[in-house]
Structure 1
Amino acid sequence: MLEVALTRVLSVMSWHHFAYLIISLAFLGFGAASTFLSVSPRFSSPTLDEGLVGKYALAFCLTTLFGFAATTKVHFYPMDAYYYGDYSNAFSLLMLYVIMGTPFFFAGVCIGYLISRAGEAINRVYFSDLVGAGIGTMASLVGINHLGVEATIYVASTAGGLVALIFSLAEGRFRLRLGSAAALVLSVLMTVLAVRHEIFPTYFPPEKIFREALRPHYYRWHIIARIDVMDPVSLSMPFGGALSKAYEGGPMPTVRVIWQDGSAPTGIMYVPNGDLRRVPALGYYLQAAPYAVKPNPSRALTIGLGGGIDALIALYHGAEHVVGVDVNPVTVDAVKNRYADFAGRVLNRPNVELVVAEGRHFLTTTDQRFDVIQLSGVDTYSALSTGAYALAENYLYTVEAMESYWEHLADGGILSFSRWLFTPPRETLRLVVIQLEHLRRMGIEHPESHLMIVSGGMPDGVWAETLLKKSPFTQAEVAAFRRWADYMKFDMIYDPYEMRPNVFNEVIRASRSEREAIIKRYPYNIKPVTDDNPFFFQFYRWRSLVSPLESGGGYFIERLPLSLAVLLVSLVQILLLSIAFIIGPLLPRGGQLRAVRHKTRVLTYFGSLGLGFIIVEITLLQKYAVFVGGPIYSMAITLFAILVFSGLGSLMSQRFKDSPDRWLKFIIIGLVGAVACEVVFINYAIPRLMFLSHAMRCGVTIAALAPLALLMGMPFPMGLRVTQRVGETIIPWAWGVNAVTTTLGSVLCVLVSMQWGFTVSLVAAGAVYLLGLAVFSPVVRAMYKEA
């Protein structure tokens, strides 16, 4: 729960790239705790000391409670270091590490100590640990959405205070009882207060100047993003497009800007008395491009509704029925209810349907066909709550997504995207490459006749609108579109009937082999992305870290290879902190380890378990996202199922405690087989099960994950039982190595998935498990042969 909440906090205080570093801190905190348990003399007694559990639970409670207050006071400017070469705030980053990492250390001490003293009950304790993690994941979703992130953090603190009080009552010392009771009461009080009002407001960095420039009228936390709605202002901000220069001198629309995590703006437009004719700017937006070809459409769909401007544009241009889809229920509520009067209740009309859903998921639940499908600037600036990725994966821009949109276009329907153009082009250019790959798969002989692209300028860059038509554009349609673009003072980039000297014409009119050659030599990565490798926004190649490319246009954060930089920073951070806090403290005891037989095999085994488990968990979390309805549902269902059933697997493994030499190899081989079955099921069965209702999909997901997760929970406790026979000295090292590889795996999974796709990640995880089995099997045989 705490880990998820802090990820949300860092997403606001910095950028989503940096928020993922919290996952490393959590794992390293637990790893450092296992080392501390092994070197601290106070934990040397073989019997459980309830007072020690109470003390460290109390420490977790207090560091969580006061750590959040301290976090909001540390001003960290992440962009200064990379963008300006200013490393003066490195101390602030170190402070954040210490403040945020300390509660995980104390929690790790409590859990590790209880497991180490569990004896024959180790399976039940490990089961409780995993099930508790699953429940915490679900609780974090509910807590952040309904209580807010600050109150959720205090709920985690309250849990620590409750544990401290329970163990202090068993221990019997009055001071510990009093301190635990006081901490518990304080945590509950802070939780209640934080539900109604921010006690310690979250800090926004200077580079998020947009949010700080305006006064917030309303805010609300959600697991997807924090939403800040501002007081009304008159401005020309295009919100995923551009306002025509032909409109210069016209009245600027009045808008309530909505910021998501302090950036990624959208807006609710003021419509006096619900009369769209009194907002003439709606006729001059770049996002109106499809209506120049398809006026008065019967049905229009906007994915990424935001503040509803795309829906207003559709209605302004005569759409008879409009469907607006947005993944964030807070945004939809703001448009439909809280600020409905401000928007003239236009989006409350009977011919407007607002849906809370992930865009791809919505399309699998409807058989409607649309004349226009519009996506304007829909992206993933907000950190995914899983903390799993340092890159923004987006399933709205894959080849499979284009196929889904295509199926829901009416005859002659138009699919319209608004994305940054950049100099040199990359976002819009990659989008075009993806659409060309989709058309190739559909068997379209002349894809060049299905596309048109137009661009519009902004003070800080250029947006482009890409139109993909289900049937070829006619000469009359192209002529009408050119006239519209000329009148609006937009620039035509591509149309089927005129050759223009730019990379878009070169790519679109090229043969398949010629296009592949262009993609290969292009300075940016513009290869088409698929659901197996959905990193649309990862344009940079590794060499760009040492030789940055010149770039213009767009939001400045997109001009930097930040995602790659964060991956490298994460790797270096994990290695250094692991040496300092996990391996380092154990080195003085290295002499004891030298005498232990099979130490290399034991440590390799536990390292393999940590690496394999985290890769499988993260990969399946992503692979089921579209099927169950988006990353939030995937977290609530997939992650919960993996953790709970792994806990049950740990409990079931107690049946094999006396004969792991007989069963362990079959369990791991079965686990690898289950991974292979998941690969086949995800890639071949799931696409054919999209017709199922949401409830049935969730049931199918749980049923598909259960066998694998049960097996994933068995090797660790069974390995610990074997290791106890090898020698108690090596057990802390086994815990430490497992923590290090689990942390490394969260980054390595990204690297493998980014380069080769999620399927390869799962195959790699299976190979890691087999490696662990091959290395550890001789140890198991030796220990039980001797017995």
Structure 2
Amino acid sequence: MLESLITRRRDLVGIFMVTAATLMFQIVLTRIFSVSMWYHFAFVAISVSMFGFTIGALLVFFYPKIFTKEKTHYHMALSSLAFGILVIFSFLTQQSIPFMTDVGDSVIALYSILLMYMVLALPFIASGICVCLILTRFPKQVGKLYAADLIGSGMGCLLIIPAMRFTDAPTAVLLVAAIPCIGAIFFSWARGFSGIRNVAVIFTVLLLLGGIVNTLTPDGSAKPLRLRWVMGIIETESRKEYWNDFSRVVVRGNPDNPERKPSAHGLSNMYKGDAKVQQMMIVIDVIGATYLTNINNDPKNAEHLKHLVTNSVHVLRPDSDVLIIGVGGGRDVLSALIFDQKSIIGVEINNNVIKALTEDFADFAGNLHEDPRVTIVVDEGRSYVTRQDRNFDIIQLSFIDTFAAGSAGAFVLTENALYTVESFEEYISHLTDRGMFSVSHFYFRELPIQVYRLTNLAYQSLKNLGVEDPHKHMAILRHADGWEFKTGIDFKTGKLGFDDVATLLISRTPMTEEDIDNLEAYALANDFEVVLSPRGAKNDEFYKLATGQPLVELEASLPVILAAPTDDAPFFFHSLKLRGLFNAEMNKHGLLSVNIRAIKILGYLLGAVILFAAVCVVVPMSRAIKQNASRELLPFLGYFFSIGLGFMLLEMSIMQRLMIFLGYPTYALAVVLFTLLISSGIGSATTQHIPVESAKSAGLKRFAILIVLFLIVQFFGPDLLHYFRGSVTPIRIAIAVGMIAPMGLFMGMAFPLGLTIVSRDHESWSPWFWGINGASSVLGSVLAIAISLNASISASYWTAVVCYLVAIACFAAFPTKAKTN
């Protein structure tokens, strides 16, 4: 009877709704965590969701007397409804608990985080129960059911992007919560569960109405549902708030405030001019900040821009065509105009930042975009440069990290993709013969690790382009800020502290004597220091890096990474070796203190998920031992664990790689997850009519094809991506889909084929194997980042391949014929 009922289309719609909402809520949580806590906690949202999903499966396994076959449909409807209700409960609870920034230093702070995560896991537990029941109670339909599961997840990934652009994250939570409630309506329809259906209808209507009201309410404190606790403090009212799928942008400040003397990173201490400006702050996910500047249409109020260390490139290359990567509040665009450059193209990845600059606060910012010399483009900087068939006299990249990547422990790949050997090669290759590339960053006096790595990047990229003596093409200018902030980030106040600002200049051709003379004159007039030039260096470290000599003593004495990042290991802001995690001295060195905290969180999380996976294996296995079934179950255990771990490792490594190729975080998220999940769903559906007697031989043939596809992608994929890197976006998306879809098709066959065989002989253990698959996925989501950080993206990919090889060995050990009793 169960098998016939599940074939109803409404049940397929129900599982589609539940899995779509599961992935949507997971993505929304990453955005909320990025704002209410630190970036590195946002990453943990992935593991929290998988943790809850696995617990749900284990509950079905351990309590068969509650989750009886006769009540399967009832529990499917009930858990779907509970999922929607718990989404709201968990979000409201999370927003009621202030985030304590001293995690690791306080037992109470640690407890608050654990409590928050346990609460947020509750909706995923309900989702896990629902999906586990559907996939394990109807083995004859597992192919099409698992297909509906994966396709629902893929569509959820796709739908959350417009949802987050149309409204804000708190409102998105309401809309996401309504989806499983709708699923409960489909599960309960015509089955006599009128109570569940009526409650689901009421909640659906209320949630949708709440979403509409919250969306239509103007920005500010009047919104009924908004983020309250941000970085452990109650957030003050903002002038304007924007959300999209990868950031939250708020504009703060009063445009009517009186004018004041300008302040800017890298402004010369010698500047004594009369410029007066008004400024408003654009804050990106709490940590990143940029400023809108109003000079009241008086160029004299922008004279200070001629005394910034970051603008030294304009002094050396007047009358130039300029490309600015990272427009922000428009300061670099305004600077280029003040220096009377010929043309300016400004590229900014965040459409909401551009909306603030060119629409909502355009008059305040001086309508920079209306100047005929200025073109503003919404795009990812590196990707835009790569696609250009023209060269520029100046390419400028100033502070395009805003501490976000550092606070994420280099988990944020969008910014890191700008700082690799391959990206620097692209910038330099798109310079004219007189062209110059300018990149500015904070300079920490005691250990300027980021500027060291920039210098190494410059050397390696120039060397790869055939330059015999890169040292003659480089110069570094430093401004001693003199501010008294603590170096790094104060986790209790959220304030940033740093020492100085440095600008690295890279010339397409060797710097001339006139270039060096002009640079030294500009430095002298503004009290800047020439740290490096073709005429020499202020210290041995910069000279050795600029001439390709290893810093043996520095690397031996300090646990830092000086190697130039590459596309296969693009973690520019991850500068600390593992042995430096518990080195107290490292907390005194700028962004390393932030990096340490982020990596510790990753380490704690990795330890926790390993323990969790071990418990998921050991506790049920003890029951198998008592039943003398452990030997029979071991191949199945190894199989489902390996395919869960391998799937997640491969998904994460491909996403990391294609984020660089596609040039936009949204594209990578949507293309990789959507394509992988949809193709896997189609692959699962193709197994629906494979009889159990033929499942083993059919599976081995399909696994052989999958391994061949893995090898083709690894050996030929990088060349393919490099060849099409300059193509238009639709072509690059098509190439990415073409790489992912064949692998996804065969990866999607693994789970239903395995479950078909295990259900034949050990049906009661099916929920455990589904839980094991989830537990290994939790481990894989963390392990993928750990491997990529400490080795490379390729290493993470090869680990996934090994997992599938182990799965094949386990699959081959499955019994061919049904067990006889």
Instruction: Using structure 1 for the length normalisation, give the TM-score.
Output: 0.93
- CA drift of 1:699 comes to 1.6
Contact 1:325 1:359 in 2 (8 A): yes
What pairs up with 1:300-311 in 2 under 5 angstroms?
A: 300-311=322-333
Inter-partner Cα distance in structure 1 for 2:432 and 2:413: 34
Contact 1:311 1:324 in 2 (8 A): yes
Q: 1:252 to 1:523 in 2, by over 3 A?
A: farther
Per the alignment, residue 14 of structure 2 pairs with: none
Inter-partner Cα distance in structure 1 for 2:748 and 2:819: 25
Counterpart check, 1:738 vs 2:773: yes
Q: 1:122 aligns with which of 126, 142, 154?
A: 142
Q: Structure 1, residues 86-122: CA drift from partner, whole Å, max 9, x if none? A: 3322221122112211111101111111112223111
Per the alignment, residue 295 of structure 1 pairs with: 318
- CA drift of 1:715 comes to 1.0
Per the alignment, residue 243 of structure 1 pairs with: 267
Q: Structure 1, residues 575-622: CA drift from partner, whole Å, max 9, x if none? A: 344566x45774674455532542222111111101110011111112
Q: 2:249 aligns with which of 213, 227, 252?
A: 227
Q: 1:427 aligns with which of 423, 443, 450?
A: 450
What pairs up with 1:365-376 in 2 under 5 angstroms?
A: 365-376=387-398
Counterpart check, 1:486 vs 2:524: yes
Inter-partner Cα distance in structure 1 for 2:172 and 2:409: 17
- CA drift of 1:175 comes to 2.9
Contact 1:54 1:165 in 2 (8 A): yes
Q: Structure 1, residues 552-595: CA drift from partner, whole Å, max 9, x if none? A: 575x6854412321221111222344566x45774674455532
Q: Structure 1, residues 711-766: CA drift from partner, whole Å, max 9, x if none? A: 11011110111112331243233122211211111111112212221122222211
Counterpart check, 1:687 vs 2:722: yes
Q: Structure 1, residues 192-224: CA drift from partner, whole Å, max 9, x if none? A: 122134433214545789xx6x75210111122
Q: Which one-letter code corresponds to 1:611 in the other structure?
A: L
Instruction: Between 180-189 and 583-592, report the one with greater CA deviation.
Output: 583-592
Q: 1:635 to 1:225 in 2, by over 3 A?
A: same
Counterpart check, 1:263 vs 2:287: yes
Q: Structure 1, residues 153-178: CA drift from partner, whole Å, max 9, x if none? A: 11110001111223333332443233
Q: 1:727 aligns with which of 762, 769, 774?
A: 762
- CA drift of 1:543 comes to 1.5
Q: 1:393 to 1:723 in 2, by over 3 A?
A: farther
Q: How many percent of aligned residue pairs carry the same amino acid? A: 27
Q: 1:135 aligns with which of 124, 131, 155?
A: 155
Contact 2:347 2:379 in 1 (8 A): yes
Q: 2:731 aligns with which of 693, 696, 699?
A: 696
Per the alignment, residue 199 of structure 2 pairs with: 179
Per the alignment, residue 166 of structure 2 pairs with: 146
Q: Structure 1, residues 343-364: CA drift from partner, whole Å, max 9, x if none? A: 1112222211111111111112
Per the alignment, residue 201 of structure 1 pairs with: 226
Q: Structure 1, residues 651-704: CA drift from partner, whole Å, max 9, x if none? A: 112243341221211211211111111112321111111243221221222122
Counterpart check, 1:527 vs 2:527: no
Contact 1:532 1:757 in 2 (8 A): yes
Q: Which one-letter code corresponds to 2:460 in the other structure?
A: E
Contact 1:611 1:745 in 2 (8 A): yes
- CA drift of 1:250 comes to 4.1
What pairs up with 1:338-487 in 2 under 5 angstroms?
A: 338-379=360-401, 389=411, 394-422=416-444, 423-458=446-481, 459=483, 460=485, 461-487=499-525
Instruction: Using structure 2 for the length normalisation, give the TM-score.
Output: 0.89
- CA drift of 1:321 comes to 0.6
The SS at the match of 2:341 is coil
Q: 1:524 to 1:481 in 2, by over 3 A?
A: same
User: What number of residue pairs does the alignment pair up?
Assistant: 772
Counterpart check, 1:316 vs 2:338: yes
- CA drift of 1:309 comes to 0.7
Q: 1:254 to 1:335 in 2, by over 3 A?
A: same
Q: Point out where structure 2 has 5 or more consecutive residues left out of the alignment.
A: 1-23, 218-222, 486-498
Inter-partner Cα distance in structure 2 for 1:205 and 1:391: 23
Instruction: Between 136-145 and 660-669, report the one with greater CA deviation.
Output: 660-669
The SS at the match of 2:363 is coil
The SS at the match of 1:549 is helix
Per the alignment, residue 278 of structure 2 pairs with: 254
Counterpart check, 1:716 vs 2:756: no
Contact 1:593 1:729 in 2 (8 A): no
Q: 1:507 to 1:180 in 2, by over 3 A?
A: same
Q: 1:102 aligns with which of 122, 128, 153?
A: 122
Per the alignment, residue 577 of structure 2 pairs with: 541
Q: Structure 1, residues 629-648: CA drift from partner, whole Å, max 9, x if none? A: 32211111121100000000
Counterpart check, 1:565 vs 2:590: no
Inter-partner Cα distance in structure 1 for 2:618 and 2:178: 33
Contact 2:401 2:415 in 1 (8 A): no
Inter-partner Cα distance in structure 1 for 2:614 and 2:657: 33
- CA drift of 1:399 comes to 0.3
The SS at the match of 2:151 is helix
- CA drift of 1:391 comes to 7.8
Inter-partner Cα distance in structure 2 for 1:387 and 1:418: 20
Q: 1:69 to 1:557 in 2, by over 3 A?
A: farther
Contact 1:226 1:260 in 2 (8 A): yes
Inter-partner Cα distance in structure 2 for 1:711 and 1:127: 12
Contact 2:662 2:668 in 1 (8 A): yes
Q: 1:199 to 1:573 in 2, by over 3 A?
A: farther
The SS at the match of 1:464 is strand
Q: 1:282 aligns with which of 305, 317, 323?
A: 305
Contact 2:473 2:509 in 1 (8 A): yes
Contact 2:399 2:440 in 1 (8 A): yes
Contact 2:136 2:767 in 1 (8 A): no
Q: Point out where structure 1 has 5 or more consecutive residues left out of the alignment.
A: none
**Cα RMSD between the aligned structures?**
2.6
The SS at the match of 1:413 is strand
Q: Which one-letter code corresponds to 1:467 in the other structure?
A: L
Contact 2:411 2:785 in 1 (8 A): yes
What pairs up with 1:767-786 in 2 under 5 angstroms?
A: 767-781=802-816, 783=817
Inter-partner Cα distance in structure 1 for 2:334 and 2:504: 20
Q: Which one-letter code corresponds to 1:509 in the other structure?
A: T
Contact 1:374 1:417 in 2 (8 A): yes
Inter-partner Cα distance in structure 1 for 2:557 and 2:690: 56
Inter-partner Cα distance in structure 2 for 1:286 and 1:237: 15
Contact 2:409 2:595 in 1 (8 A): no
Q: Which one-letter code corresponds to 1:540 in the other structure?
A: L
Instruction: Between 197-206 and 757-766, report the one with greater CA deviation.
Output: 197-206
Instruction: Between 518-527 and 734-743, report the one with greater CA deviation.
Output: 518-527
Counterpart check, 1:73 vs 2:108: no
Inter-partner Cα distance in structure 1 for 2:127 and 2:594: 39
- CA drift of 1:50 comes to 2.7
Contact 2:262 2:275 in 1 (8 A): no
Q: Which one-letter code corresponds to 1:539 in the other structure?
A: S
Per the alignment, residue 11 of structure 1 pairs with: 34
Inter-partner Cα distance in structure 1 for 2:449 and 2:205: 54
Q: 2:655 aligns with which of 621, 625, 633?
A: 621
The SS at the match of 2:401 is coil
Q: 1:361 to 1:21 in 2, by over 3 A?
A: same
Q: 1:524 to 1:387 in 2, by over 3 A?
A: closer
